[in-house]
């Protein structure tokens, strides 16, 4: 069966520090991968998605970047965090780009920038 791992679960970082959140998927190949953010009192905002290694699409201009160095690895990064980067970050995968399907989410990372 497929599983998705996301870490760390919580993170407190000072303003201006770098960020690296990692997500890996097991039990499937060539998944579509996503990073979402849930800000306080708001819905899930799609930040990045990837349909293959090295292929990253950014949905909103921001202080973050994403990379997909391996087929089942998705990394969210920042060189210098801002206070507004605080939120709940979720990695997700879906089986294919060819048909409508649900996404499967990781447990999330609570990021607090202080």
Partner 1 sequence: DQQVKQNSPSLSVQEGRISILNCDYTNSMFDYFLWYKKYPAEGPTFLISISSIKDKNEDGRFTVFLNKSAKHLSLHIVPSQPGDSAVYFCAASGTGGFKTIFGAGTRLFVKA
Sign of the torsion formed by the C-alpha atoms of 68, 1, 46 and 8: negative
Nearer to partner 1 (CB atom), residue 36 or residue 74: 36
Nearer to partner 1 (CB atom), residue 12 or residue 15: 12
Nearer to partner 1 (CB atom), residue 9 or residue 15: 9
Are the C-beta atoms of residues 37 and 49 closer than 8 Å to each other? no
Largest CA distance in the chain: 41
Binding site for partner 1 (CB under 8 A): 6, 9, 32, 34, 36, 41-46, 49, 51, 59, 90, 92, 94, 97-108, 110
């Amino acid at each position: 069966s497929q599983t998705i791992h996301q870490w760390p679960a919580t993170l407190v970082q000072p303003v201006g520090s770098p960020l690296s959140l990692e997500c890996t998927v097991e039990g499937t190949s060539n998944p579509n991968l996503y990073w979402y953010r849930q800000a306080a009192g708001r819905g899930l905002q799609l930040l990045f998605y990837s349909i293959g290694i090295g292929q990253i699409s950014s949905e909103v201009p921001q202080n973050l970047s994403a990379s997909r160095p391996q087929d089942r690895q998705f990394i969210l990064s920042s060189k210098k965090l801002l206070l507004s980067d605080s939120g709940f970050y979720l990695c997700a995968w879906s089986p294919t780009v060819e048909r409508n399907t649900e996404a499967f989410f990781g447990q999330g990372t609570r990021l607090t920038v202080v």
